Amino acid sequence: MIKRLHDIKRLLTAMALTAVVAFGAMAQVDAAFSHSWLGQGYYNPAAAGEFNAIHLTLGSRMQWVDFKHAPMSFYLTADMPYKLLEQRWGVGVKAEFERIGLYTNTRIGAQIAYKRKLGRNMTLSVGVQPGIFSQTFRGHEIITTKEQEMTPDEAIKKEDVSGTVFDANVGVFFSAPHYWVGASVTHVTAPSIELKQTRESIDYYEFNISRGYYFMAGGNIPINNTLFEIQPSGMFAMYKKAWTAQVSTMLRYNRMFNIGVGYRWKDAVTAFIGVNLKDAYIGYAYDYPVSAISKATFGSHEVFVTYNVKLENREKNKNKQKSVRLM
């Protein structure tokens, strides 16, 4: 019992410290993936349909692995190009599961992006992602002392409560042969979830979701007369009055092996390693904290996998689409 209370105390301390250092006091619900350059579709629905393939991305993040009940995030996107009424589109789906302390978040959405060619091998996309946001608070897992049980706090729910609300993301995405940029807004309507025991319950707890504003960019710079390429990328994110930023640089050899480093503002330094296997990419990232949280944890881990299922070219090589997103 004492050990469990100690673990929870450490976790709550860690969450508080990171919230102050990285984001401030706010309802930040989008995961801060270090592999942001690999999974643009997580933050921006306009990135759907950039490959001439069914493009699958599986991302997972295990944060502060030393803690019990530490944050865990998993998501899957699947997208592909589509042609309708002589116009180019990108369509896809996104599903995410996340656990943060006693909260469980599930998000499911459909992505659609309108694509317009701007000159040779340049594309401007505008996308939207309608969906649902479901949240559960596992009140039955709250641990209380005997004194707290004798004088219970009515503000702390001891039963499980949950709720679901409509949610939506929007974005724009521009791609060229050697670089890409994108901007997006997540949780456009800034919804509030009413957490109840049942749909008929009168009493409820409210969880407010803040809008997220993202700007992302990246490039692919070949090094002349070598098999090396440099792939820099960066992301700026803002919620209400708080913000964060991260940058990374990957070095790719022979279009197969990747290594790199990254930095998230006042939060962590990152080491990347990855390998391309024909139609697949497997990447791993380790985050070492540079904030006060380093006193309580040795870091976080990420694993990302992408896979392309090639589509048949029904127009016999006419109007070929070439991927400009980086792998």
Q: Write phi, then psi, for 268 (nearest 5 degrees).
A: -160, 155
In the block, residue with structure tokens 């997103």: 325
Mean model confidence pLDDT for the chain:
84
Q: What per-residue confidence (pLDDT) applies to 143?
A: 63
CA dihedral 58, 242, 156, 71 (to 10 degrees): 30
Specify whether the CB–CB gap between 246 and 174 falls below 8 A: no
Q: Write phi, then psi, for 249 (nearest 5 degrees).
A: -140, 125
Digit-coded pLDDT (tens) for 267-292:
999 999 999 998 999 999 999 999 87
Instruction: Indicate whether 94 pLDDT > 90.
Output: yes
Digit-coded pLDDT (tens) for 216-274:
999 999 999 999 999 999 999 999 878 999 999 999 999 999 999 999 999 999 999 99
Digit-coded pLDDT (tens) for 179-190:
999 999 999 999
Query: What single string gives the DSSP state of each residue in 245-279?
Result: EEEEEEEEETTTEEEEEEEETTTEEEEEEEEEETT
Digit-coded pLDDT (tens) for 34-46:
999 998 999 999 9
CA angle 191, 197, 203 (to 5 degrees): 70
- Residue spans of the domains in the chain: they are 2-250
Q: Write phi, then psi, for 118 (nearest 5 degrees).
A: -125, 85
Q: What per-residue confidence (pLDDT) applies to 220?
A: 95
- Count of beta carbons in the 10 Å neighbourhood of residue 70: 20
